[in-house]
């Protein structure tokens, strides 16, 4: 396969991998906080987390274009290293992807923490485990299926991202030209053979991810039973 | 029972009204290259006023529209930003051969929102900007013309790392308009009625003339509204509008 096909694949894997990693790091504490006790502000926060599910990518793309640009905070940040805008960069896409895929990572972890209930943590506390230790040795292992689902969904959803990238990417090979954009480009220029190779690959990938997730859930359910 | 009858009668009435409307005035779907957006809107409005027909406009890059038409999109006319794609549509049996004509000759302009940034070709030579936006050169003729101009000036290799691509010329404009790119190659027509910023009308010897062709598609051949639109596009009113938006007209006619 030519570099023209490989480059977007590699870039997409890098973007999705990094996005998933960042989301697991910031999503876990958020999901944990949200899963303990009910307060009105938690419902509001939950709604904010879930918003990218409902918003069209064009809304995110439009606001990101303004926020990352020279008159937004992104431009101010970019000026630290001498750039004017954070659009058209890998970092810009990473910021967009983290926002875009947020609910796909937070929600499965949140559900897993909730399903666990308060009991395990209470028991851990009576055994004099510190809250931090209890979190790592009790909550996280119990929520393992949630973490796996979260990682897979976060990764897969970032791979499937298109609208936001189209609006803030600028189609730069090796930096912002991800798989979905490369496919769009090939279709637009009537290069359907290349489009087909990448698109068929995506179909296989999507099937694989969903199949793996179903099998995983099935096995977890059996192991728990 | 009574209520449903009432609703039924009302629906039938609406349907009849709709039928009556359709029989008087037709409708045609037109695929329009993004650079022609504003001019096409104005022409469609004048067309509606004169003939009563509706021209429903869809905008995109020429490449995008071509791909859709070859997959049986319901367009009846294509106003492309080049002559190759309408020619290809004719060759592939989607377009009516004798209907093809050049409705406008596009002009490329280098534009910045800042009143001092663009002074001429030297702006490109000095390269005192971080990003220059263009339309996708493979899908949009204005993007290809931008590349051609940079090459003709011997600046392409130097500028290449600064190039960002919009999916269509509309997006190339938007990147400059939002300030994310300092300068951009856009269509002069996009600046109609906008005196802001600074601009350089790119020397037309630097790029192959952007001859924009229209073609009647097979799907519209039997539709009086579509043929009327093609005729209207050739008429004095439409030509005046096209010139007003900064296009040249075909000298050959």
Q: Tell me how far apart the alpha carbons of residues B78 and B56 are, in angstroms, rounded to a whole number.
A: 12
Nearest-CB residue to A190 (from B67, B171, B174): B67
Would you state the pLDDT for residue A11? 96
Q: Is the pLDDT of residue B128 over 60?
A: yes
Q: Do B165 and A87 touch (CB under 8 A)?
A: no
Break chain B into its structural domains and give their ranges.
Answer: 8-105+210-244, 108-201
Q: Which of A83, A167, A170 sits opposite B165 (nearest CB)?
A: A170
Beta partners for residue B185, in sequence order: B110
Quick check: B133 and A189 CB within 8 A? no
The answer to whether A119 and A134 are in contact (CB under 8 A) is: no
DSSP 8-state assignment for residue B36? G
**Which residue in B158, B175, B166 sits closest to B137, CA to CA?**
B166
CATH of span A3-110+143-224: 1.10.3720.10
> Are residues B164 and A172, on separate chains, in Cβ contact within 8 Å?
yes
Question: Is A156 near chain B, with CB under 8 Å?
Answer: no
pLDDT at B9: 67
Q: Which residues of B touch A69 (CB under 8 A)?
A: 178-180
Give the one of B130, B171, B178 whose C-beta lies nearest to A69's C-beta.
B178
All residues of chain A having their beta carbon less than 8 Å from the beta carbon of residue B175 are 87, 170
Checking if the pLDDT of B110 tops 90, the result is yes
* pTM recorded for the entire structure: 0.82
Residue found under tokens 């021209």: B55
Task: Give the per-residue pLDDT at B1.
Answer: 46
Q: What is the pLDDT of residue B250?
A: 86
Q: What percent of chain B has pLDDT over 70?
A: 89
pLDDT in tens, A127-162: 998 989 999 999 999 999 899 999 999 999 999 999
Query: What residues in A contact B139, CB-CB < 8 Å?
Result: 185, 188-189
Of the listed ranges A36-45, B1-10, B98-107, B179-188, the least confidently predicted one is: B1-10
Residue extents of the structural domains in chain A: 3-110+143-224
**What architecture is domain B8-105+210-244?**
3-Layer(aba) Sandwich (3.40)
Segment holding B67, helix H or strand E = helix B62-70
Q: Does B5 touch chain A (CB under 8 A)?
A: no
What's the whole-number mean pLDDT along residues A159-186? 92
Residues of chain A contacting residue B162, judged by C-beta atoms under 8 Å apart: none
- Say whether B134 sits in a helix, a strand or coil: strand
- Largest Cα separation within chain B, whole Å, is 79
B 117-176 residues inside an 8 A Cβ radius of A: 130-131, 133, 136, 138-139, 163-167, 171, 174-175
Shortest CA gap B165–chain A (Å): 5
pLDDT value at A48 more than 70: yes
CATH of domain B108-201: 3.40.190.10
How confident is the model at residue B23, as a pLDDT? Answer: 47
Task: Check residue B156 and give its pLDDT.
Answer: 97
Q: What is the mean pLDDT of residues B208-212?
A: 95
Tell me the two tokens of residue A152. Answer: 């897979």
Contacting residues of B for A66, CB less than 8 Å apart: 178
A204 Cα to chain B: minimum distance (Å): 24
Could you give the percent of chain B with pLDDT greater than 90? 81
Q: Give residue A179's pLDDT.
A: 95
CB-CB under 8 Å, B64 with A65: no
Distance separating alpha carbons of residues A121 and B189, to the nearest angstrom: 66
The predicted complex's ipTM stands at: 0.78
Chain A partners within 8 Å of B63 (Cβ) = 188-190
Strands B77-79 and B101-106: unpaired
pLDDT of A188 above 90: no
Nearest CA in chain A to B63: A188
Q: Does the fold of domain B108-201 match that of domain B8-105+210-244?
A: yes
DSSP letter (8 states) at residue A135: I
Check whether A83 has a pLDDT greater than 90: no
Chain B nearest C-alpha distance from A215 (Å) = 38
Q: Determine contact: B91 vs chain A, CB below 8 A.
A: no
pLDDT, tens digit, for every residue of B1-47?
Answer: 455 666 676 666 566 555 544 445 799 999 999 899 999 999 999 99
Structure confidence by residue, pLDDT tens digits, B35-84: 999 999 999 999 999 999 999 999 988 988 998 998 889 999 999 999 99
Task: Answer whether A170 sits within 8 Å of B139, measured CB to CB.
Answer: no
Task: Return mean pLDDT, chain A.
Answer: 92
d(CA A49, CA A54): 11
Q: B31, B178, B183: which to substitute to probe chain A, counting the most A Cβ within 10 Å?
A: B178
Q: A65-69, A76-80, A217-221 — which is least confidently predicted?
A: A217-221
Q: Which DSSP string corresponds to A52-83?
A: HHHS-HHHHHHHHHHHHSTTSHHHHHHGGGT-
How much is the average pLDDT of B164-186? 95
Mean pLDDT to the nearest integer, A152-176: 93
Nearest CA distance, B89 vs chain A (angstrom): 13
């Amino acid at each position: 396969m030519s570099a023209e096909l490989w480059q977007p694949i590699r870039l997409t894997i890098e973007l999705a991998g990094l996005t998933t990693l960042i989301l697991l790091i910031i999503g876990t504490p958020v999901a944990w906080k949200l899963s303990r006790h009910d307060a009105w502000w938690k419902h509001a926060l939950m709604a904010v987390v879930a918003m990218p599910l409902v918003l069209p990518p064009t809304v995110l793309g439009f606001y990101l274009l303004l926020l990352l640009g020279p008159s937004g905070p992104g431009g101010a940040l970019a000026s630290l290293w001498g750039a004017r805008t954070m659009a058209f960069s890998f970092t810009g896409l990473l910021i967009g992807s983290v926002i875009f895929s947020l609910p796909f990572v937070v929600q499965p972890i949140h559900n897993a923490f909730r399903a666990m209930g308060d009991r395990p943590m209470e028991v851990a506390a009576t055994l004099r485990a510190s809250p931090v230790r209890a979190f790592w040795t009790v909550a996280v292992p119990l929520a393992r299926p949630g973490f796996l689902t979260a990682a897979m969904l976060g990764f897969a959803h970032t791979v499937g991202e298109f609208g936001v990238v189209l609006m803030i990417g600028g189609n730069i090979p090796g930096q912002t030209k991800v798989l979905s954009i490369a496919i769009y480009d090939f279709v637009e220029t009537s290069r359907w053979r290349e489009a087909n190779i990448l698109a068929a690959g995506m179909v296989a990938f999507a099937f694989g991810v969903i199949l793996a997730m179903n099998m995983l859930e099935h096995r977890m359910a059996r192991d728990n039973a | 029972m009574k209520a449903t009858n009432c609703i039924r009668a009302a629906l039938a009435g609406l349907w009849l009204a709709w039928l009556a409307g359709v029989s008087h005035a037709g409708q045609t779907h037109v695929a329009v290259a993004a650079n022609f957006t504003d001019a096409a809107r104005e022409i469609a409005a004048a067309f509606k006023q004169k003939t009563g027909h509706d021209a429903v406009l869809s905008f995109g890059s020429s490449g995008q529209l071509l791909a859709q038409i070859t997959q049986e999109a319901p367009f009846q006319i294509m106003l492309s930003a080049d002559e190759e794609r309408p020619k290809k549509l004719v060759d592939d049996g989607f377009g009516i051969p004798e209907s093809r004509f050049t409705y406008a000759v596009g002009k490329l302009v280098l534009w910045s929102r800042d009143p001092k940034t663009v002074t001429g070709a030297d702006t490109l030579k000095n390269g005192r900007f971080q990003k220059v936006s263009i339309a996708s050169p493979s899908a949009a003729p204005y993007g290809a013309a931008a590349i051609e101009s940079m090459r003709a000036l011997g600046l392409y290799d130097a500028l290449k790392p600064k190039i960002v691509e919009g999916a269509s010329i509309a997006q190339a404009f938007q990147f400059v308009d939002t300030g994310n790119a300092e300068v951009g190659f856009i269509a002069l027509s996009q600046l109609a009625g906008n005196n802001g910023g600074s601009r350089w009308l790119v020397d037309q010897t630097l790029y192959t003339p952007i001859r924009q062709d229209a073609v009647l598609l097979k799907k519209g051949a039997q539709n009086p509204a579509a043929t009327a639109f093609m005729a209207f596009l050739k008429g004095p009113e439409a030509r005046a509008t096209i010139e007003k938006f900064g296009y040249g007209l075909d000298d050959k006619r």
